[in-house]
Amino acid sequence: MNPLRRRQLLALLHRGLGASASPDVALRAALDHERRWETAVAESAERTERVED
């Protein structure tokens, strides 16, 4: 994940989790979100390839 994207997700999730959430918790949530997003994109591309074949 590029550093800018990581900072953006961290800030967004930190606000969403509340100010009491530790940066570690927010970073873990951001990384989990990013991983789920990448998986969804890869699965979508795979389905698109199968449809085109």
Q: Write out pLDDT tens, residues 19-34.
A: 566 777 777 877 888 8
Average pLDDT over residues 27-50: 86
Look up the domain containing 10 and give its range: 3-52
> What is the sign, positive or negative, of the torsion defined by CA atoms of 44, 30, 8, 6?
negative
Tally of domains within the chain: 1
- Output the pTM of the full model: 0.54
**What is the per-residue pLDDT for 31?**
81
Dihedrals φ, ψ of 4, to 5°? -65, -45
pLDDT grade, residue 18 (50/70/90)? low
Residue 9 predicted with pLDDT over 80: no
Cβ-proximal residues to 2 (8 Å cutoff; 6+ apart), any chain: none
Give CA–CA dist 26/34, Å, rounded.
12
